[in-house]
Amino acid sequence: MLQQLSIQNYALIDRIEIDFKSGFSVITGETGAGKSIILGALGLMLGQRADSKAIKDGTDKCVIEGVFAISDYPLKSFFEENELDYQDCCIIRREIHANGKSRSFVNDTPIGVNQLKDLGTKLIDIHSQHENLLLSNPQFQLNILDVVAQNGELLKNYQTVFLQF
């Protein structure tokens, strides 16, 4: 679950920190309030293509950071496979520099954009106007079945035995 989002020097934003509470979160506001800018920053943090034009004028880089509680997610194997330190609290940071380069970090360990995208799809699902839901994604369907069936412990045991095999 996304607990905090911090955005610095992105588009029109100097600095903003948003704290999210457990449960359903909605970002609303009038046209022009900045909802799309926040969603754009969130997408960048989760591995979308970076563009130096997104950096606030007069600054050298923008930094977008998210704090996630991931203890309820089956992500330990992802962290092991990608040689990342697993912690129940995961911090993702993306820096975009004015020269066009970007850097990504998970728990202060550098990570490639493809790995970041992969992790991002496991952490958050953004539903915006005119976007299709993930209902057609087979992995998403399996995850929903596991949640409804409340077989998280059975799934963990299976994954452990499978990895040992």
Q: What is the pLDDT of residues 15-51, one digit of tens each?
A: 999 998 887 777 788 887 778 888 889 988 998 888 7
CA 54: distance to chain centroid?
Answer: 18
Cβ contact 9:59 at 8 Å? yes
Coil, helix or strand at residue 10: strand
Kindly state the tokens that stand for 7: 């955005």
Give the tens place of pLDDT for each residue, 131-164. 556 667 788 788 888 888 888 888 889 989 999 9
Give the tens place of pLDDT for each residue, 81-104. 999 989 999 999 999 998 888 999
Residue-level pLDDT at 50: 81
pLDDT band at 3 (very low <50, low <70, confident <90, very high): very high
The residue type found at 120 is G
The number of beta carbons lying within 10 Å of the beta carbon of residue 130 is 4
Residue-level pLDDT at 131: 57
Cβ contact 129:116 at 8 Å? no
Question: For the domain bounded by 2-130, which CATH number is listed?
Answer: 3.40.50.300
Q: How far apart are CA 152 and CA 143, in angstroms?
A: 10
Residue-level pLDDT at 133: 62
Residues 6+ apart with CB under 8 A from 81: none
Phi, psi of 123, deg, nearest 5: -100, -35
For residue 74, is pLDDT > 80?
yes
Residue-level pLDDT at 144: 80
51-75 mean pLDDT: 88
Ranges of each domain in the chain: 2-130, 132-165
Q: How far apart are CA 134 and CA 137, in angstroms?
A: 5
Q: With the C-alpha atoms ordered 78, 126, 117, 105, is the resulting torsion angle positive or negative?
A: negative
pTM for the full model? 0.73
